[in-house]
Amino acid sequence: MAKFIFITGGVVSSLGKGIAAASIGCLLESRGFKVSIQKLDPYINVDPGTMSPFQHGEVFVTDDGAETDLDLGHYERFTTQVSNRGNNYTAGRIYLQVIEKERRGDYLGGTVQVVPHITNEIKEAIKAQGKDVDVVIVEVGGTVGDIESLPFLEAIRQLHLEVGRANAVFIHLTLIPYIRASHELKTKPTQHSVKELRSIGIQPDILLCRTEYPIPRDMKAKIGLFCNVPEEAVITAKDVEHIYECPLFFAQEGLDYILLKYMGLPLHERHMEKWEEFIGTLKHPDDTVTIGIVGKYTQYEDSYKSLREALIHGGVPNKLGVHLKWIEAEDIEREGPAGPLAGCHGILVPGGFGERGVEGKIQAAQYARLHKIPYFGICLGMQLASIEFARSVAKLEGANSTEFDAKTANPIFYKLRDLLGDDTYGGNMRLGKCPCVLTEGSLAHKAYGTLEISERHRHRYEFNKAYLEPLAKVGLVFTGLSPDGKFVEVVELRDHPWFLGCQFHPEFKSRPLNPHPLFRDFVQASHKNKVKSEE
Ligand code: GLN
């Protein structure tokens, strides 16, 4: 049977529970254990697919097409996990499943209640993760004391009772604030948070204490005493420069050691050499390169979490530090591209929905094309680069996507349904992994080193193949198609150092120890551009 680690959060939100869960996964894998990390979100939305990136940050897409919480991105980047729908449950989805069962009559006329029906559904969802792994790590979203998270906390309390203390560990992530005026770290909020947790029947085994400064031993002893945990289980979670350093700091604090001890698992040797090497390059690159990202939620970096990480990963095999310059597309609309894009060695237009900023992004693609600046267009960024090319080079007047101009004379992108009149692809999105075949000798082929790839999608609009020939004739190269030839997946330009647009989202599959080849090559091309411009 798998062991369980439950992670709760206290005092305030945004303490980095996701990174903590991911780091624990990383450490356990480094000691040879197989893990699955799961996120339980207390909100009522069935999934975050319809939530605004302003509120919820990026929607992370899994191979099986689930739209999930961005913490799943951290889980995949810190471990070898390939997540699926089961790795993320919201309260809404749990309730939906229970209500559907009730409507089907599965409860045989019984009164359906939070305990046991909702809590049983949650427990089943957690246990399902334990099938082929040694340890299931469960992150409970929200902060202890919220009304919303109560059913989840009750479910993990019950599960702990069910599997026994040797098989389940409670970790509580809390804050030890530093009061500048008196130069003191304060433990009281942590004491209160643990008290709150105990009042619902959960005694944490380990405290992860987020702090700006290392917690001295005597303070650890005091926290331990008040919170009823041994001193060794009070772990400093100090702020770090790079999130990827977290597992190493936790290891120094002995977290993996005590976890294995508490769960009664063998103390296999820890192997973190490659991880350490990655961090070494990250901290001491040979040079840096600046990438301009033209988007619409740029002040909310969480909306582009995976993208940001993929660019950083892409720097490492090139021994480059990647500096990101976030550019609001509407600034380009107001001022033109030259000002906002000044100093960018490469330009990236990421995925997006809705009309705001679209023309600014089109101008950015044009600027990159004309000034031979490496360009990487992802999903919407691929669509807009193709539209720009159709307008400027193929002279197709008013070329657009029907997403932005329903009546355009030249619908370069459209919903398949609009044209075929069938609902096979519906108003719904193409979601999750799809195979793609690349053209030999293309930039994409050079990057991947193979002709058959699989990437994750999340979009409604598709390239209109009626425009394949007219655009190909004037120089747009179609270098990636779905195996049945139905979908255009990659476009490139010749006579340009590096210009590539892909309909999929490669950023979801980049990992620190396995940087995505397209990001790696884009960063490399951008750096070449930098070197050239300095000559
Ligand atoms: N809005 C576009 C579509 O739905 C692009 C989506 C995206 O970039 N993820 O096709």
Q: Going residue by residue through the chain, which has 535 residues, state the pLDDT in tens, using 9 for 90 and above.
A: 899 999 999 888 888 899 999 999 999 999 999 999 999 999 999 888 888 777 778 999 999 999 999 999 999 999 999 999 999 999 999 999 999 999 999 998 899 999 999 999 999 999 999 999 999 999 999 999 899 999 999 999 999 999 999 999 999 999 999 999 988 888 899 999 999 999 999 999 999 999 998 999 999 999 999 999 999 999 999 888 899 999 999 999 999 999 999 999 999 999 999 999 999 999 999 999 999 999 986 666 788 999 999 999 999 999 999 999 999 999 999 999 999 999 999 999 999 988 899 999 999 999 999 999 999 999 999 999 999 999 999 999 999 999 999 999 999 999 876 555 555 544 478 999 999 999 999 999 999 999 999 999 999 999 999 999 999 999 999 999 999 999 999 999 999 999 999 999 999 999 999 999 999 999 999 999 999 988 8
Whether residue 509 contacts residue 313, with contact meaning beta carbons closer than 8 Å, is answered with no
Task: Identify the domain boundary among 248, 276, 304.
Answer: 276
Task: Identify the domain boundary among 276, 299, 328.
Answer: 276
Query: Same domain, yes or no, for 269 and 403?
Result: no
- Cβ of 297 closer than 6 Å to ligand 1, yes or no, is no
- Cβ of 507 closer than 6 Å to ligand 1, yes or no, is no
Query: Same domain, yes or no, for 209 and 303?
Result: no
Nearest atom in ligand 1 to the alpha carbon of residue 429 is: 4
Structural element, H or E, at residue 358: helix 358-370
CA separation for the pair 25, 99 (Å, rounded): 33
Whether residue 85 contacts residue 64, with contact meaning beta carbons closer than 8 Å, is answered with yes
Query: Same domain, yes or no, for 272 and 297?
Result: no
Whether residue 457 contacts residue 505, with contact meaning beta carbons closer than 8 Å, is answered with yes
DSSP structure class, residue 514: B
- In this structure, the residue with its CA closest to atom 3 of ligand 1 is 459
- Cβ of 456 closer than 6 Å to ligand 1, yes or no, is no
Query: Same domain, yes or no, for 252 and 360?
Result: no
CA separation for the pair 267, 269 (Å, rounded): 6
Query: Same domain, yes or no, for 232 and 308?
Result: no
Q: What is the CATH number of the domain that holds 426?
A: 3.40.50.880
Active-site residue 505, yes or no?
yes
Q: Which of 67, 489, 507, 527 is catalytic?
A: 507
CA distances from 259 to 226, 434, 496 (A): 21, 38, 53
Domain that holds residue 205: 3-276
- Cβ of 458 closer than 6 Å to ligand 1, yes or no, is yes
Query: Same domain, yes or no, for 431 and 492?
Result: yes
pLDDT number for residue 298 = 61
Nearest atom in ligand 1 to the alpha carbon of residue 353 is: 1
Nearest atom in ligand 1 to the alpha carbon of residue 458 is: 9
CA separation for the pair 62, 36 (Å, rounded): 14
CA separation for the pair 197, 208 (Å, rounded): 14
Query: Same domain, yes or no, for 206 and 302?
Result: no
- In this structure, the residue with its CA closest to atom 6 of ligand 1 is 459
Nearest atom in ligand 1 to the alpha carbon of residue 378 is: 8
- Cβ of 379 closer than 6 Å to ligand 1, yes or no, is yes
Query: Same domain, yes or no, for 431 and 449?
Result: yes
- Cβ of 345 closer than 6 Å to ligand 1, yes or no, is no
- Phi then psi for residue 211, to 5 deg, are -145, 165
pLDDT number for residue 301 = 73
CA separation for the pair 375, 365 (Å, rounded): 7
pLDDT number for residue 51 = 81
For 4, other C-beta atoms within 10 Å of its C-beta total 24
Nearest atom in ligand 1 to the alpha carbon of residue 381 is: 8
Nearest of 376, 495, 369, 365 to residue 447 by alpha carbon: 376
For 451, other C-beta atoms within 10 Å of its C-beta total 14
- In this structure, the residue with its CA closest to atom 1 of ligand 1 is 353
The rounded Å distance from CA 498 to ligand 1 centre is 22
CA separation for the pair 437, 485 (Å, rounded): 9
Query: Same domain, yes or no, for 188 and 50?
Result: yes
The rounded Å distance from CA 361 to ligand 1 centre is 13
Sign of the torsion formed by the C-alpha atoms of 225, 228, 230 and 233: negative
- Looking at the 3D structure of the chain, how many domains does it have? 2
Q: Which amino acid is at 374?
A: P
Query: Which residue reads 């990480």 in tokens?
Result: 309
Active-site residue 323, yes or no?
no
Query: Same domain, yes or no, for 186 and 259?
Result: yes
pLDDT number for residue 420 = 54
Mutation test residue for ligand 1: of 293, 358, 383, the one with most atoms within 8 Å of CB: 383
CA separation for the pair 458, 482 (Å, rounded): 15
Q: What is the CATH number of the domain that holds 267?
A: 3.40.50.300
Q: Which of 172, 505, 516, 527 is catalytic?
A: 505
Query: Same domain, yes or no, for 503 and 522?
Result: yes
Structural element, H or E, at residue 379: none
The rounded Å distance from CA 512 to ligand 1 centre is 26
Task: Identify the domain boundary among 276, 307, 332.
Answer: 276
pTM for the model stands at: 0.94
Which strands sit side by side in the sheet containing 320-328, from one edge to the other? 320-328, 287-295, 346-349, 375-378, 499-502, 488-493, 476-481, 430-438, 452-459
Query: Same domain, yes or no, for 231 and 353?
Result: no
Q: Which of 209, 379, 434, 436 is catalytic?
A: 379
